[in-house]
Amino acid sequence: MEPIHNTTHNNVAEVNIANDAEMREKNRRAAQRGRVWLCAGVGLMGLSFGINFLMFHSDQSFTTVMYVMTTLGAVCIVKSLADLLGL
């Protein structure tokens, strides 16, 4: 004799709920990682600006340090955007 209620439908619903919870947790971790990368990128860009602002009239060459920090800051910001947008 066949059961009256379809038990596979309940199992599918439980699997979907579990998958949704996993996806929410994965998205939360990616967003947190994206915020950390964004803070690092903004910090590096700010530090690069500070070096440029403070050493503008000095006789020392600081362009290499400034360009490296700016590039690293831009890379961090792009990485954060990729994490935040889920790419």
Cβ contacts of 20 within 8 Å, gap of 6 or more = none
Cβ-contact 56, 48 below 8 angstroms: no
This prediction has a pTM of: 0.70
Q: CB-based burial of residue 7 (10 Å sphere; 0-12 exposed, 13-18 middle, 19+ buried)?
A: exposed
Number of H helices, E strands in the chain: 2, 0
Q: What is the pLDDT of residues 35-82, one digit of tens each?
A: 999 999 999 999 999 988 888 888 888 788 888 999 999 999 999 999
